[in-house]
Amino acid sequence: MSEQTGPEQSSPELTSPEQTSPEQTSPGDGGPKGIFSKDLLDACISCGFCLPACPTYAMTGQEQSSPRGRITLMRLLETGDLAPDDATLAEESSLCLGCRACETVCPAGVQYGHLLEEWRDEQWSGLKRPWIVRPLLLIANRKWVLRTLGLVRRSARRRSGAADQPTLMLGCFERGLFPSVSRGIAALDPDLAVDPDQGCCGALHAHNGELEQGRDLARKLGERLPGTIVTTSGGCAAHLADVIGRERVVEASEWLLKQNLDVSERPLRVGLQDSCHLRNGLGVWKEPRELLGRTATYVELPSAGSCCGAAGTYALVRKKESKAILAKKIAEIEAADLDLVIAVNPGCLRQLQTGLRKSQSRTKAVHIVDYLRGHKA
Amino acid sequence: MTKIPPAVIADLRALLGERVLTETGALAAYGRDATPLFRHAPDVVVQPLTTEEVAGVMRIATRHRVPVTTRGAGTNLCAATVPLSGGIVLSTTRMTALTEVSRDEMLAVCQPGVTAGALNRAAAAVGLVYVPDPGSKEASTVGGNVATCAGGLRGLKYGVTRQYVLGLEAVLPDGEVIRTGGRLVKDVAGYDLTRLLVGSEGTLAVITEITMALVPNPAAARYGVAYFESMADASEAVRDIVASGPAPATLEFMDAVCIAAVEDFAHLGLRLDAGALLLFGDDGEPDAVDRSVARMAEVCGKRATHIELAESVAAAEDLLAARRCNLPALARSGSMTILEDVTVPRPKLAEMVAFVAATADKHGVRIGTFGHAGDGNLHPTAVVDGDDQAATEAAMAAFDEIFHHAVDLGGTITGEHGVGAAKLPYLEHRLGPEQMALLRRIKGAFDPLGLLNPGKLGS
Ligand SMILES: Cc1cc2nc3c(=O)[nH]c(=O)nc-3n(C[C@H](O)[C@H](O)[C@H](O)COP(=O)(O)OP(=O)(O)OC[C@H]3O[C@@H](n4cnc5c(N)ncnc54)[C@H](O)[C@@H]3O)c2cc1C
Ligand code: SF4
Ligand code: SF4
């Protein structure tokens, strides 16, 4: 019989707060490291309400890949009870999609998205950042690159709007990948001002371990574009709103609905993929549905509200998991027999297009702005 | 403490492949559950998928004499899944097969890792309900519900998990598989091992399959809220309601601390000047429900300062939400919440609530109390600054008195959450030395080597 078992030896050794340091973890000094905002970390009561909402927990069924488990890891990192180079810390900070579905069900109002940003700020600094995202951050950080991208790929042209009219934010990757989106919204609302010399909002940086820079970029963008800012990307909208204030940020479908966009109806079956940050971060999910419902037969996909696996740079950093999540979406879309599936975010759009193309589906993925442009009455 | 021998890990890997976790960080994540103050990491975590795999894990554990702690969603509030002696954590979260939902037999058969919410939705799809309705139902597992004998907001009329478990399949520590009960409503052959396993908190066997009775979905449900000057008035109203007719489905209360916390958090328009509130409601056939709710409103009317009936489903949902968000609402005001769970005979409810308030005052701890007035089950919840050692100790001292007082009033130390490690020190006060000894002999009969969840029931 090995010496540690049997009823007589198994009396509880750790039943009081004084004795709680788990010896399997490397002993730390137990003091706060200042990595996380104390209020944010303290808010979690470990109730586990977030478990069923989390896609990565659904994938593994493992505590450490649930929001609650990740917060436990963060706490242990904060107190030094887990070494900074612990393998699980590294794995979990990148396995998390950052989709913030956990926030919507948390009864204690834990701001998981912020915790994740602080975590990655620590975990992904310098050389520890996944190499694949490094050049992206650099590109987004250079105004001249963005300007050139906009020129080459012909995104919306400069124009000044009426004094109280909002300005269009030109997403940095959208400029390269889907320039028609900014042209589209400019066409849908001719009063929108466009400033081609704007920088990046820094969402990408904030989500990838450059929290301060991410915030700084957002602040600068806020200063450059006065008044209300209209965005065509959920991720950017949520980050920008977080830094410069929700009242200044309007997402495209919110805006168009407010403008009473006049649309025509067509005999199409369309579905929607929510942008996680738009839905979970800004609470915008009814608006795109409302617009689509006016233009065609709207079909709610069973998992429309949960992440498609694009998740910013996730599709690059965690290829395998991203594909697994996408595969389920594509199967769902196929089963729904849609003509179009609509995205409200460039990252999701690209993810869906890739998946649909690979499975040679008849369904096409389209950005909501491009779609509505074709339906303008 | 010595770690488990490497041969154990090798054997587990041979059985389960990748579903064996040994990384330090992963183990640390399994070192705690929803109970603050208790923490101890296991040596290894396994995720079996089938009964055969569970049996394989238990055979390995027995061969090497390694303790095993079974874990569902880890939402228990009594440190029941903290592996106090290390060893193996057997996680059921991937045993999620829902084998059968039968409308005709009004039952479901499932693996233990299915969440209560998922089972409820599957039942609802055929017009039935999974009765145990713990606040944690979307997260907690059916296995965990059975092992803790969970209850919920409908306890007064419908009882707790115990009443609905028809049969179980379970794996004993040596790997043998037993089947207790079955699909029959009438079956009295032998000792009732099904009921023994319900509430056994993972100390007798690992439950691997559950046959659960379901009930028809009630046609209607209505709710109302009554405000009182004091908890004493509210308790008298509870007594009168119960005396005045059949038990209603829901009779919940909140004290002033909880009302303030909930209102501050959820902005539902609760009256902040009240000393206590009662949330009452019933379900069943529409006209019967109307009669029942009218009767309760009338009885409350004798003492209440205000009564509001929920006119719409949305308003009723708001009321229920208010009751369900008690814990998080309280939690917002401190870094650590300790939720407890005592039950007293219904006539003693007011006395108990008053005692809790006085004890909280005495120790300088903020304690809000809410609970199931109808069945005398209250949840005194302390909110403290987790970094403040003295405050934590004061809270523990307050609870110590609260547990003893509950038992002295003819009550018990847990009504639905279980004993776990947190309340084991109080169990003898509740059961007496003779019963404790019998409990240990029963534990010995199932688990002679003391491998299952050491430091908990039967230890
Ligand atoms: C916010 C909140 C609200 C809650 N509300 C309620 C409520 O209203 N009513 C209520 O009763 N409880 C409530 N609880 C407590 C808790 O949710 C229940 O006790 C629940 O039944 C635990 O289920 P679980 O899957 O999380 O089990 P766990 O916490 O993982 O395990 C609990 C116990 O069951 C054992 N166990 C788990 N699975 C098995 C198995 N397959 N075989 C053998 N043993 C097993 C474990 O070893 C442990 O002893 C609440 C908890 C929270 C955090
Ligand atoms: S739901 Fe919120 S409070 Fe509960 S464990 Fe998850 S993050 Fe923590
Ligand atoms: S952000 Fe998404 S993936 Fe990450 S913990 Fe929350 S729910 Fe899970």
**For the residues of A206-252, what is the DSSP string, one character each?**
HHTT-HHHHHHHHHHHHHHS-S-EEES-HHHHHHHHHHH-GGGEEEH
User: Quick check: A23 and B327 CB within 8 A?
Assistant: no
Reduced to 3 states, what is the DSSP secondary structure of residue B310?
coil
For residue B39, list chain A residues with Cβ-Cβ distance below 8 A: 14, 20-22
Residue A13: burial class (beta carbons within 10 Å; 0-12, 13-18, 19+):
middle
User: Quick check: A63 and B85 CB within 8 A?
Assistant: no
For the Cβ of A48 lying below 6 angstroms from any atom of ligand 2, the answer is yes
User: Quick check: A5 and B85 CB within 8 A?
Assistant: yes
- Work out the number of other CB atoms within 10 angstroms of the CB of residue A14: 26
For the Cβ of A133 lying below 6 angstroms from any atom of ligand 2, the answer is no
User: Quick check: B85 and A9 CB within 8 A?
Assistant: yes
Q: Cα–Cα distance between B338 and A371 in angstroms, integer?
A: 52
pLDDT of residue A15: 34
Helix (H) / strand (E) containing B180: strand B177-181
Four-point Cα dihedral A214, A219, A225, A227, nearest 10: 130
For ligand 1, the distance from its centroid to the CA atom of residue B39, given in whole angstroms, is: 17
Cα B308 versus chain centre, distance: 30
Q: Cα–Cα distance between B7 and A377 in angstroms, integer?
A: 72
For the Cβ of A49 lying below 6 angstroms from any atom of ligand 2, the answer is yes
**For the residues of B335-357, what is the DSSP string, one character each?**
SEEEE--EE--GGGHHHHHHHHH
Tell me the residues of chain A between 220 and 249 that have a Cβ less than 8 Å away from chain B: none
pLDDT of residue A306: 92
Ligand number nearest to the C-alpha of A49: 2
Q: Cα–Cα distance between A64 and B235 in angstroms, integer?
A: 44
User: Quick check: A14 and B38 CB within 8 A?
Assistant: yes
Reduced to 3 states, what is the DSSP secondary structure of residue A364?
strand
Interface test with A, best of B39, B333, B453 (most A CBs within 10 A): B39
Across the interface, of A51, A62, A106, the residue whose CB is closest to B26 is A62
Closest atom of ligand 3 relative to the A97 alpha carbon: 3
pLDDT of residue A170: 78
For residue A50, list chain B residues with Cβ-Cβ distance below 8 A: 139
Q: Find the residue in B nearest to A17 (Cα).
A: B37
Nearest CA, atom 15, ligand 1: B76
- Work out the number of other CB atoms within 10 angstroms of the CB of residue A143: 15
Minimum distance, in Å, between the CA of residue A169 and any CA atom of chain B: 34
Closest atom of ligand 3 relative to the A100 alpha carbon: 1
Q: Cα–Cα distance between B108 and B116 in angstroms, integer?
A: 12
Tell me the best of A96, A115, A207, A280 to mutate to test the pocket of ligand 3, counting ligand atoms within 8 Å of each CB and taking the most: A96
User: Quick check: A109 and B5 CB within 8 A?
Assistant: no
Minimum distance, in Å, between the CA of residue A142 and any CA atom of chain B: 38
For the Cβ of A270 lying below 6 angstroms from any atom of ligand 3, the answer is no
E strands, A308-377, are 340-343, 364-367
pLDDT of residue A4: 36
Interface test with A, best of B3, B4, B19, B32 (most A CBs within 10 A): B32
> Could you tell me if B347 and B386 are in contact, meaning their C-beta atoms sit under 8 angstroms apart?
no
- Is any Cβ of chain A less than 8 angstroms from the Cβ of B117? yes
Q: pLDDT digit of tens for each residue in chain B (459 aa)?
A: 457 899 999 999 999 999 999 999 999 999 999 988 899 999 999 999 999 999 999 999 999 999 999 999 999 999 999 999 999 999 999 999 999 999 999 999 999 999 999 999 999 999 999 998 888 899 999 999 999 999 887 888 888 999 999 999 999 999 999 999 988 877 778 899 999 999 999 999 999 999 999 999 999 989 999 999 998 899 889 989 988 888 898 899 999 989 988 888 888 888 999 999 999 999 999 999 999 999 999 999 999 999 988 887 777 888 888 887 788 788 877 778 888 899 999 888 888 999 999 999 999 999 999 988 888 899 999 988 888 889 999 999 999 999 999 999 999 999 888 899 989 999 998 999 999 999 999 999 999 999 999 999 988
Q: Cα–Cα distance between A347 and A360 in angstroms, integer?
A: 20
User: Quick check: B449 and A20 CB within 8 A?
Assistant: no
Across the interface, of B23, B39, B115, the residue whose CB is closest to A14 is B39
pLDDT of residue A138: 65
> Could you tell me if B376 and B343 are in contact, meaning their C-beta atoms sit under 8 angstroms apart?
yes
Ligand number nearest to the C-alpha of B200: 1
Interface test with B, best of A2, A11, A14 (most B CBs within 10 A): A14
For residue B79, list chain A residues with Cβ-Cβ distance below 8 A: 15
Which residues partner with B89 through β-bridges? B45, B69
Closest atom of ligand 2 relative to the B34 alpha carbon: 5
Q: Model confidence over A68-111: pLDDT tens digits?
A: 999 999 999 999 999 988 999 999 998 999 999 999 888 888 99
Residues of chain A where predicted confidence (pLDDT) is lower than 50 = 1-27
Residue A12: burial class (beta carbons within 10 Å; 0-12, 13-18, 19+):
buried
- Is any Cβ of chain A less than 8 angstroms from the Cβ of B138? yes
Give the contacts of B396 (CB within 8 A, at least 6 positions apart): none
Across the interface, of B25, B113, B459, the residue whose CB is closest to A86 is B25
**Per-residue DSSP letter, B441:** H
Nearest CA, atom 3, ligand 2: A44
- Is any Cβ of chain B less than 8 angstroms from the Cβ of A111? no
pLDDT of residue A23: 38
pLDDT of residue A139: 65
